[in-house]
Amino acid sequence: MEDGIILIDKPAGMTSFGVVARIRRVLSAEVGKKVKVGHTGTLDPFATGLMILVVGKECRNAGTYTKLDKVYEATFVLGETSSTGDPEGEIIKQSDARPNETEIRSVLAQFTGNIRQRPPVFSAIKIGGRRAYDLARKGEDIEMPEREVNVYSLELLSYDYPEIKVRAHVSSGTYIRSLAVDIGKVLGTGAYCSQLRRTAISKWMVSEAKTLESFGITN
């Protein structure tokens, strides 16, 4: 393929840029010249699931895919907080409080619809032309601007303390890690996102995606 899109099921432990680099290397080797490959929205290293890669001339349309709605399945851990909002940060015990399922559903309802959220400091958002996570790692004080996002639905899949499992259908630009942190604050327990999987981007489903192994990529 020299022009078009590729659906990839990203594995955990790999950056989105790492996925792009590996696919670019394989495609370039196949055609005997460098093939342009880009992504249409990053997934955190700990996250898995659907990525849409644009190839060749389709790279000019990357922004169109970036703006599409997305669906995630996530696990939030109550009673603890993380410096990054995910399992890669420093985990700190916060509370032993155990909200019941009715309380959980009530709080989830508060985060449905148009909401304002502050993206994580450890994110790929650019601040002054530099990635926020680069600034954060250097210990620089960063004020992330709030943004308005739309949570079309936030469904409780299961609750077995301390874990809440949810399915979220959200607009582009929504951070599930921030959602976990904000929900933990309202519950008074603290929370972080321990697992995250993107299952859909608009009409494209992760079930349609290829694995890196199908391209002969093993690491």
Structure tokens at 171: 């607009």
Those residues whose C-beta lies under 8 Å from the C-beta of residue 45, and which sit 6 or more positions away, are 12, 13, 14, 15, 88
**Residue 42: left if φ>0, alpha if ψ -120 to 50, beta else—which one?**
beta
Summary count for the chain: helices (H), strands (E): 5, 13
Q: Is 44 a catalytic residue?
A: yes
Catalytic residue among 44, 134, 141, 160: 44
Place of tokens 């005997």: 32
Q: Which of 4, 151, 183, 167 is nearest to 69 (CA)?
A: 151
Give yes or no for a contact between 52 and 23, defined as CB atoms under 8 angstroms apart.
Answer: no
Give yes or no for a contact between 79 and 184, defined as CB atoms under 8 angstroms apart.
Answer: no
DSSP state of 56: G
Place of tokens 């309380």: 103
Positions annotated as catalytic residues are 44
